[in-house]
């Protein structure tokens, strides 16, 4: 598959989970991918395995100064940017009264503020070039109020709104904006799930692999330019929400 031949992509949170699967899928489709993550050692290992079209960029997106340098860092390595997959995020669940206040700040900063700032950083470059694709990793929790996710679910509802507003702001600039909204994905983020919920989900087949989400992202990116997939929900067939 070579549908993304010549494209330059940047993927945040690229060292694991959906970000890594998205990176691998874009590389397989012919793109060059800048892997953005704070885990320098993981990026070194991954890029060594994936080859020369996988380019590491170590950034702690929760550091405001480092976050502001995202586009500059990408352009210093590739000269341009065609695709941004704003994927970095974190998860917490459980009762709100048992949630640490600093953890709430970290989640909302990473899941909401960082995404908005990353998109803000790249759109002048894309507008100048008259083309671009922005894909945000949201969640089915951004479409349904999940009672055991009182912080995570609102953060993804914010992304549902953000994607829809930015699609309309940028539709005349040649830039497509969409989100992929998975159900539960087998990844490190599920480490915070209540043990009983995780056990039941595994037994019921109510989890999907990151690759299934990456396949949906490739579908979004390879539509004709007159077609935008604004949001695609990817669920395990046995997921009962």
Q: Which of 60-69, 86-95, 107-116, 212-221 has the lowest mean pLDDT?
A: 86-95
Residue 241 buriedness (CB in 10 A; 0-12 / 13-18 / 19+): exposed
Q: Which two tokens stand for residue 8?
A: 């330059």
What average pLDDT does this structure show over 197-213?
80
**Domain 8-234: CATH superfamily, name plus number:** NAD(P)-binding Rossmann-like Domain (3.40.50.720)
Q: Is 152 a catalytic residue?
A: yes
Gap between the terminal Cα atoms of the chain:
34
Check residue 185 and give its pLDDT. Answer: 86
Higher-pLDDT residue of 204, 25? 25
Banded pLDDT at 192 (limits 50, 70, 90): low
Banded pLDDT at 135 (limits 50, 70, 90): very high
Domain ranges for the chain, please list them.
8-234
Summary mean pLDDT of the chain: 93
In terms of DSSP H, where are the helices of the chain?
Answer: 17-28, 40-50, 64-68, 70-78, 101-108, 114-129, 152-170, 195-204, 210-221
Residue 1 above 60 pLDDT? no
Check residue 195 and give its pLDDT. Answer: 72
Q: Which of 68-82, 156-170, 179-193, 213-227 has the lowest mean pLDDT?
A: 179-193
Q: Which of 25-39, 49-63, 127-141, 199-213 has the lowest mean pLDDT?
A: 199-213
Whether 6 contacts 79, CB under 8 Å: no
Does pTM surpass 0.85? yes
Q: From the candidates 19, 141, 152, 170, give the one annotated as an active-site residue.
A: 152
Q: Which two tokens stand for residue 62?
A: 């929760």
Q: With the CA atoms of 55, 61, 65 and 70 taken in that order, what torsion angle do they form, in degrees rounded to the nearest 10?
A: 40
């Amino acid at each position: 598959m070579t549908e993304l031949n010549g494209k330059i992509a940047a993927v945040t949170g690229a060292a694991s989970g959906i970000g890594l699967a998205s990176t691998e899928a874009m590389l397989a489709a012919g793109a060059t991918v800048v892997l953005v993550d704070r885990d320098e050692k993981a990026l070194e290992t991954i890029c060594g395995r994936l080859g020369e079209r996988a380019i590491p960029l170590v950034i702690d997106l929760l550091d405001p100064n480092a976050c502001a340098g995202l586009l500059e860092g990408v352009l210093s390595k590739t000269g341009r940017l065609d695709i941004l997959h704003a994927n970095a995020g974190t998860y917490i669940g459980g009762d709100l009264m048992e949630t640490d206040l600093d953890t709430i700040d970290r989640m909302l900063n990473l899941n909401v503020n960082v995404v908005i700032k990353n998109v803000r950083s790249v759109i002048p470059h894309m507008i100048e070039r008259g083309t671009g694709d922005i894909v945000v990793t949201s969640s089915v929790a951004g479409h349904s109020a999940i009672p055991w996710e009182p912080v995570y679910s609102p953060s993804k509802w914010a992304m549902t709104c953000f994607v829809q507003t930015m699609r309309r702001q940028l539709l005349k600039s040649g830039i497509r904006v969409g989100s992929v909204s998975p159900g539960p994905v087998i990844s490190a983020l599920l480490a915070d799930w209540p043990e009983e919920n995780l056990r039941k989900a595994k037994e019921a087949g109510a989890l999907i692999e990151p690759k299934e989400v990456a396949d949906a992202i490739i579908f979004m990116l390879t539509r004709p330019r007159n077609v935008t997939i604004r949001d695609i929900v990817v669920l395990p067939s046995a997921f009962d929400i």
